[in-house]
Amino acid sequence: MQVNEKEFKPTIVAFCCNWCSYAGADLAGTNRLNYPADVKIIRVPCSCRVNPMFILRAFQRGADGVIMCGCHPGDCHYTTGNYYARRRMTLLFSMLDYLGIERERTRVEWVSAAEGAKFAATMNEFVETVTKLGENKRLEDLRCKEK
């Protein structure tokens, strides 16, 4: 069988809250739901832990898309963390868009520990969107490229 080397496989970084989406990803796994292996999960104690710099760093080190998953508003393990995160991410994504970086490369989704199916569906959809966009060129760091 010939492996097509030209086929583009995006690298997706997913920041997942320890208390909900990370468990949601686990549930997706135990339920044998498929989602692409291109999604690299980084566990954070709360979506509020995600510093805007993390998102930019992920792009720098080769991510083609970055998604942040947290508890549904109102369900934060620490009561209010995700509300702050929501404001921050809204402003950051708007700024990335303002600088001309494709807005589809960033996303926030609220996924609870019970929503394994939603986790898988979200990731499938996000990977598809980013695959269509192609490689991250506008926010890349040439020094971090392997080739």
Closest to another protein by CB, 31 or 138: 138
Does 140 bind another protein (CB under 8 A)? Our answer is yes
Q: Does 16 bind another protein (CB under 8 A)?
A: no
Among 45, 104, 132, 134, binds another protein (CB under 8 A): 104
Q: Which of residues 109-138 bind another protein (CB under 8 A)?
A: 138
| Site for another protein contains 49 (CB under 8 A) | no
Q: Under a CB-based contact definition with an 8 Å cutoff, are residues 57 and 99 in contact?
A: no
Neighbours of 131 (CB within 10 A): 17
Residues in 24-43 at the binding interface with another protein, rule: CB under 8 A: none
| Token pair 């980084």 in the structure block, residue | 42
The contact set with another protein (CB under 8 A) reads 52-53, 56, 59-60, 73-74, 80, 83-84, 86-104, 107-108, 138-143
